[in-house]
Structure 1
Amino acid sequence: MESSGIVHVREKFPDTYNNLKFKRKMAVRIAFFDAKSYDIESFNKVNEDYNFDIRYYQERLSLSTVPLAKGADVVCIFVNAECDARVIDELVKGGVKLIALRCAGFNNVDLKAAAGRIKVTRVPAYSPHAVAEYAVALMLSLNRKIYRAVHRTRDGNFTLNGLLGFDMYGKTAGVIGMGRIAKELIRILHGFGMNIMAYDLYPDKEFAERYGVKIVQLDELYAHSDIISLHCPLTPDTKFLINRESIARMKKGVMIINTGRGQLIHTEDLIEGLRTKQVGSAGLDVYEEEKEYFYEDKSGKMIDDDVLARLLMVPNVVLTSHQAFFTEEALHNIAVSTLNSVKELAEGKELSCEVK
């Protein structure tokens, strides 16, 4: 039974009552997996407006760690979580009602196993600017050999041999995908004066016309692009999109940029393309088997992934640890979007960022 004070508020100030009622229901428990210090800081700050009970765990969600979610209403996971049918079965048994991905991709969640049993949400647009700008940073670093030049000058070597780049003005960029990130990239490259080709199953023709983008099929994009940047989701159709056959159809010396998902590229085929100089350089913020390494400090251990070890030895490759999203604005937006999905669940509303 409600107190007379609460009844009075309900009668006189219904909006205030609803807010109080919501606050009382905020004992929603979230099991937050793969938590880093920056995640905790960002989510705690945003959670001041939601008052959820967030339990942070350093472990990634997997079959061995799923017991940590016992008693939780929501699990919050990131890109390297293992959320297959067996994990989902355990989450459902434990009463979890929502899998909240704090990222855009959802290829690591078995949606068929989740359908009708547990809701899944994601963050579709935390900061397209962050990822697009990072893709350009990789392009410039590779083209102008910035990483190599810095290492040289720190050793007192100020020669220019081997540092020759090219003007991006007038060159052709091929963008695979035309989502939010790709569109931000296109705007930047258009400002550089580049010719831009794009491939997408459902291209935005009005946007393409506005920025002088030529919509083409993949073969034409491969044949004419000096730089290819990947911005498509990882699906069964796009897995290993970049492989021995597609590389052979590319313009010799092409630069390949991947800030999307590691399995868009067959890494061994990429290494072979780099060896033969069919691929001139590669800027990679993702790797197909990254989950054992990325976001962790492995500096004191030998890398036992032979493919990754070889990739790190190639001089015309820049490889970073899935950090393209990593800006203050993006972290804030991720926290807001994720916790808003939890709020919608708690209020019984339709989930605006649900993956179906």
Structure 2
Amino acid sequence: MKLAVFSTKSYDKSSLMASATNNISITFFENRLTSLTAKLAAGFDAVCVFVNDELNQDVLSELKANGVKFIVLRCAGFNNLDLEACKALGIQCARVPAYSPEAVAEHTVALMMTLNRHIHKAFNRTKEGNFSLAGLLGFNIHGKTIGIIGTGNIGLATTKIMKGFGANVIAFDPVQNTSKQQDIDFTYTDLDTLLTTADIVSLHCPLNQSTHHLLNDKSISSMKDGVMIINTSRGGLVDTASLIKHLKSGKIGHLALDVYEQESELFFEDHSESIIQDDIFQRLLTFPNVIITGHQGFFTGEALTQIAKTTITNLTLFAESKINHNEIT
């Protein structure tokens, strides 16, 4: 089995090689998979891709023509995959549905607490000998209402942490996990009630047609004044232009993003020696109450190990024509 891995970083190579079996030959490419780089997969049986690789009909057709039979995603989301085209071409695809929900949940809370207690500002101040507390006033999470949109593994892991803070957690999900609801002690509600009630709104749902720009001008307008919004899921869940509008008006009091709708041209690369051309992204960076991290919520040693193990297992199951419960159908 010959596997081509795209969007490779050093940590990807290390984790995948540590989990690889002798019957899989791996070639690593730093390039993102696009219509221009799909030709690199010629002669390979499978490709391994990440969140910002392109898997549209043109790319998939090129992969099929080059002999690719399998696609393994080393992530949970697959909004970048044209599933219908994949089925039509007869290419089997699998993902990593659960690698370390706690990793993303903990990063979510880290962003929440950094924003609330102004840790980033305090860090820079004390380095300069400034110990003034002016402008660093936060609020207690205890007793606040946290709105969790999406109660999959990551949403539930975040809910558990919030309950530990003594917060009141309300959640929205079209598919309710009632057994976990009783164990963790949170309340399901409709989306409108969540948006109008929550002090903090945290996104943990997949990106699809029904969730695209879930947070937009109308939905953000209905939120509490000074609401905190955290998105560690997918950038396309929010309309960035609406975020900027409501940051300027003060409707949004705090905003943390680990994802961005146009992140494929920015994230996972070093742009420190160049000028970022994305004016909307640059505008977000000017707000003092905004924190942006570069899609690092998943980035723990435990998560990378599990991603690699599941990715190799997915490939092995495909090669042996065995049932794969991680297959995207």
Query: TM over 0.5, yes or no?
Result: yes
Q: Partners in 2 of 1:110 and 1:215 — Cα distance? A: 32
Q: Partners in 1 of 2:218 and 2:304 — Cα distance? A: 38
Question: 1:149-188 deviations in whole A, cap 9, x for unaligned?
Answer: 1111112211000000001000000000110001111111
> Please, which runs of 5 or more residues in structure 2 have no aligned partner?
none
- Alignment equivalent of 1:315, drawn from 281, 288, 296: 288
What SS does structure 2 have at the residue aligned with 1:222? helix
1:18-57 residue pairs with structure 2 within 5 A? 28-47=1-20, 49-57=21-29
Q: Partners in 2 of 1:154 and 1:265 — Cα distance? A: 35
Q: Partners in 2 of 1:108 and 1:85 — Cα distance? A: 11
1:185-224 residue pairs with structure 2 within 5 A? 185-224=158-197
Q: Which residue of 1 aligns with 2:148?
A: 175
Q: Which residue of 2 aligns with 1:8?
A: none
Question: Given that residues 224 and 250 in structure 1 are in contact (C-alpha distance below 8 angstroms), is that contact kept between their aligned partners in structure 2?
Answer: yes
Q: Which residue of 1 aligns with 2:136?
A: 163
Q: Partners in 2 of 1:268 and 1:152 — Cα distance? A: 31
Report whether the alignment pairs 1:353 with 2:329.
Answer: no
1:260-275 residue pairs with structure 2 within 5 A? 260-275=233-248
Displacement after TM superposition at 1:320 (Å): 0.2
Displacement after TM superposition at 1:50 (Å): 4.4
Q: Which residue of 1 aligns with 2:306?
A: 333
Q: Partners in 2 of 1:160 and 1:268 — Cα distance? A: 32
- Alignment equivalent of 2:61, drawn from 89, 96, 99: 89
Ranked by relative contact order (alpha carbons within 8 Å, sequence separation 6 or more), the top structure is: 2
Rg (Cα) greater in structure: 1
Determine what percentage of the aligned residue pairs are the same residue. Answer: 48
1:50/1:336 CA distance change after superposition, 3 Å: farther
Q: Partners in 2 of 1:38 and 1:210 — Cα distance? A: 36
Q: Partners in 2 of 1:108 and 1:201 — Cα distance? A: 22
Moved over 6 A (4+): none
Q: Partners in 2 of 1:209 and 1:227 — Cα distance? A: 22
Q: Partners in 1 of 2:246 and 2:70 — Cα distance? A: 42
Task: Letter of the 2:201 partner, please give it.
Answer: I
Report whether the alignment pairs 1:114 with 2:86.
Answer: yes
Task: Letter of the 1:90 partner, please give it.
Answer: E
Question: 1:242-274 deviations in whole A, cap 9, x for unaligned?
Answer: 111000000111100000000101111001111
Question: 1:184-233 deviations in whole A, cap 9, x for unaligned?
Answer: 11111011100000000011122213322111111110111010000010
What SS does structure 1 have at the residue aligned with 2:274? coil
Displacement after TM superposition at 1:127 (Å): 0.4
Q: Partners in 1 of 2:72 and 2:182 — Cα distance? A: 36
- Alignment equivalent of 1:99, drawn from 59, 71, 85: 71
Q: Partners in 1 of 2:43 and 2:323 — Cα distance? A: 23
Q: Partners in 2 of 1:191 and 1:157 — Cα distance? A: 33
Q: Partners in 2 of 1:318 and 1:267 — Cα distance? A: 14
Q: Partners in 1 of 2:286 and 2:22 — Cα distance? A: 47
> Please, which runs of 5 or more residues in structure 1 have no aligned partner?
1-27
Question: 1:120-164 deviations in whole A, cap 9, x for unaligned?
Answer: 110000100100011000100000000111111112211000000
**Bigger shift: residues 109-118 or 209-218:** 209-218
Question: Given that residues 50 and 339 in structure 1 are in contact (C-alpha distance below 8 angstroms), is that contact kept between their aligned partners in structure 2?
Answer: no
Q: Which residue of 2 aligns with 1:62?
A: 34
Q: Partners in 1 of 2:92 and 2:248 — Cα distance? A: 45
Question: 1:16-70 deviations in whole A, cap 9, x for unaligned?
Answer: xxxxxxxxxxxx00010010000001111111x4441000000010110001000
Q: Partners in 2 of 1:307 and 1:139 — Cα distance? A: 23
The number of residues matched between the two structures is 328
Report whether the alignment pairs 1:80 with 2:30.
Answer: no
TM normalised by structure 2 equals 0.98
Q: Partners in 2 of 1:103 and 1:321 — Cα distance? A: 15
TM normalised by structure 1 equals 0.91
